[in-house]
Amino acid sequence: MPRVLPPAPSTSPQALLQLLWLASPALPVGGFSYSEGLEAAIDTGRVQGEADALAWLVDQLHLSLARADLAVVAQAHAAWARHDTARLHELNDWVRLTRESQELRQQTEQMGRSLLEWLRTLERQRLEQGESADERVATLATLKPAPSWPVAWALAVQRSGAPLREALLTHAFGWAENMVQAAIKAVPLGQSAGQRMLARLVQEIPPAVEHTMALPDSARQAHSPMLAILSARHEQQYSRLFRS
């Protein structure tokens, strides 16, 4: 007889709203202020229009995000469920030590700190309503020199109760939306071009997430030489709009 797979876990209305909140550009973590090397690629002529910008982001999604940050989110999501402090410190150190430029390291630390402050605000509201404190927020604050963005984000989404696949799709979409907006401003491009790029990235995100979920811990990697070179060059770029 054919094997009957169990139904995928459903996302509650509350969890869905939390995912929308975490993917929103309005989340006060400053993601809109970074281009992650894209601005330097434009400045050096490697990205000159819509097609180039789209190709750059698709490659970054599959070669960088899916194999590094999304993989960390997946593994940290499980670690937060167990409140495995040693594992969380290990993952946080890996993110920080594999950032290949000063700007990229500062980005993940700044966004992680900002998300920690956002979570602390939510904790104060919980306490005022008579709810018990989530000790994991205090653990997040112990990650030094700062919580990295994917590890902090994994806690935020773990608290929502959303299934892992939906969490990873949300993280990737939030990244895609910020990067498309960076391309619109820096290339520059029109809003219609941005929507075409986002439509393509929406097609590319699900297979990237499936790849992430199939990765063993030993296959996690962060190795994007040209992205690292351009990020380092961006630190000295004369005229720029973005912080990375």
Q: Which of 25-39, 89-103, 164-178, 190-204 has the lowest mean pLDDT?
A: 25-39
What's the pLDDT at 1?
Answer: 44
Nearest to 182 by CA among 18, 68, 43, 71: 43
The pTM of this model reads 0.92
**Dihedral of the CA atoms 118, 149, 80, 203 (nearest 10)?**
110
Can you tell me whether residue 179 is helix, strand or coil?
helix
> DSSP string covering 84-123, please?
-HHHHHHHHHHHHHH--SHHHHHHHHHHHHHHHHHHHHHH
**Per-residue pLDDT reduced to its tens digit, 176-191:** 999 999 999 999 999 9
**Per-residue pLDDT reduced to its tens digit, 43-87:** 999 999 999 999 999 999 999 999 999 999 999 999 999 999 999
Residue 68: exposure state from Cβ atoms within 10 A (0-12, 13-18, ≥19) = buried
Q: Is the pLDDT of residue 229 over 70?
A: yes
Residue 165: exposure state from Cβ atoms within 10 A (0-12, 13-18, ≥19) = middle
Q: Is the pLDDT of residue 209 over 50?
A: yes
What's the pLDDT at 240?
Answer: 75
- Residues 6+ away with beta carbon under 8 Å from 63: 224
What's the pLDDT at 241?
Answer: 81
CATH topology of domain 36-234: Urease accessory protein UreF (1.10.4190)
**Per-residue pLDDT reduced to its tens digit, 133-158:** 899 999 999 999 999 999 999 999 99
What's the pLDDT at 126?
Answer: 87
- Determine phi and psi for 10, rounding to 5 degrees: -85, 155
Q: Angle formed by the axes of helices 69-82 and 149-160, to 10°?
A: 50
- d(Cα 151, Cα 147) in Å, to the nearest integer? 7
- Residues 6+ away with beta carbon under 8 Å from 122: none
Q: How confident is the model at residue 7 (pLDDT cuts 50, 70, 90)?
A: low
Q: What are the residue boundaries of the structural domains of the chain, listed by start?
A: 36-234
Nearest to 113 by CA among 31, 21, 176, 37: 31
- d(Cα 79, Cα 154) in Å, to the nearest integer? 9
Q: Is the pLDDT of residue 239 over 80?
A: no
Q: Is the pLDDT of residue 3 over 60?
A: no
Q: Which of 176-185, 200-209, 228-237 has the lowest mean pLDDT?
A: 228-237
Q: How confident is the model at residue 9 (pLDDT cuts 50, 70, 90)?
A: low
- d(Cα 168, Cα 23) in Å, to the nearest integer? 11
Q: How confident is the model at residue 223 (pLDDT cuts 50, 70, 90)?
A: confident
pLDDT > 70 fraction of the chain, expressed in percent and rounded? 96
Q: Is the pLDDT of residue 238 over 70?
A: no
Q: How confident is the model at residue 243 (pLDDT cuts 50, 70, 90)?
A: confident
